[in-house]
Amino acid sequence: CKILRCNSEYVAATLHLRGPGRGAAFCTALRSYSLCTRRTARTCRGDLAFHSAVHGIEDLMIQNNCSKEGPTAPPRPRPPAPNPQGFESLDICDYERSFLYKHGRPPGFQHCAAFGDPHIRTFHDEFHTCRVEGSWPLLDNDYLFVQATSSPVAKGSNATVTSKLTIIFKNMKECIDQKVYQAELDNVPAAFQDGSVNGGTRPGGSSLVIWERSPGRHVEIRADYIGTTIAVRQAGRQLSFSIRAAEEVARAFTEEQDLQLCVGGCPHSQRMSRSPRGRGRVPADTARALCREMLPVEDVYFQSCVFDVVTSGDTNFTMAAHGALEDARLFLPDVEKLHIFQ
């Protein structure tokens, strides 16, 4: 079965095609890809990668309004110096490119966030408000460990906020050394704990990089070797966490790693209603007016903002919800799922 050859020729033919103007050339490459899969169909009938490629081509042709009839491009030369697995050596540290090469389609992605009181948006688009005081894992899989430490938002309050985040990028072959990132209130560094800003001295070290988006307030960590991007922010007296992770990475855990707030949300005993009860530190009508300035759609981000401002009396929580919504806008694979209404 020579499906990997078809995949590599398609990747080589489309690497330089970007943006809305790629239309005709992209359709030509897809037809050539389809022709290649038909030629190898007999020997590839039992190969999952082959069937995945065939379905992927059909979806891409529909999405790009490509006709099945038309010119096909001659295959471009394969990239030079492939290693025995059929990839360029550094392609192993470029998850999206490797996935496309192997499967003939881009990978899927999932989004999770933790912000404010904390409110958790899970990989499955469930939304919980938690009272999780102490340290809890947001993620615990083969590639990443993320722990959030929470403390009371105010003296005598049941509500808590994230005051510390610890992120461990686990050692991975020739790509990166193990790296630890830690943020605390008023200390959101643009470097890992060892002072470095990338994945180390291995050949793929540049596939893990920290970018400072706003000094001391917002950093972005790009882990291209696992197709993952993380944003860490501070707004007022709380930290927030957002992630866009490849589906394969998000699911890479065992039954023993069963407590992950990004996967299962808050344990039932730790969930809270987002309807503020009793006397708050800010009147609910005032909180709604403040939150509406930053969040015109009255979805769960808006509800969370109102809850946090009423409970804490800190108007900076409007920025926490707004930042989480902006991260979701960037990270969500399906923009129709941006707003959640409960």
Model pLDDT, residue 82: 42
Handedness of CA 329, 332, 336, 340 (dihedral sign): negative
- Where would I find the beta strands (DSSP E) of 16-170? 109-115, 119-121, 127-130, 134-140, 144-152, 160-169
Which CATH superfamily includes the segment(s) 109-270? Answer: Mog1/PsbP, alpha/beta/alpha sandwich (3.40.1000.10)
| H-helix or E-strand spanning residue 101 | helix 95-103
Which of 297, 293, 325 has the alpha carbon at shortest distance from 309?
293
| H-helix or E-strand spanning residue 214 | strand 208-214
Model pLDDT, residue 235: 92
Model pLDDT, residue 89: 46
The three-state secondary structure class of 43 is: helix
Backbone φ and ψ for 183, nearest 5 degrees, come out as -125, 140
Model pLDDT, residue 282: 87
pTM for the whole structure? 0.73
pLDDT, tens digit only, all 342 positions of the chain: 778 888 888 887 877 776 666 678 888 888 999 999 888 888 887 788 888 888 888 888 888 888 888 877 655 444 444 444 444 444 789 999 999 988 888 999 999 999 998 999 999 999 999 887 889 999 999 999 999 998 887 666 666 789 999 999 999 988 999 999 999 999 999 999 999 999 998 889 999 999 999 999 999 999 999 999 999 999 988 999 999 999 999 999 998 888 899 999 998 888 888 775 555 778 999 999 999 999 999 999 999 999 999 988 889 899 999 999 999 999 998 889 999 997
How is the chain split into domains, by residue range? Answer: 2-64, 109-270
Model pLDDT, residue 83: 44
Residue 135 Cα distances to 192, 203, 286, angstroms: 20, 34, 32
Q: Distance (Å, rounded) from C-alpha 310 to C-alpha 314? A: 8
| Cα 144 from chain centroid (whole Å) | 12
| H-helix or E-strand spanning residue 220 | strand 218-223
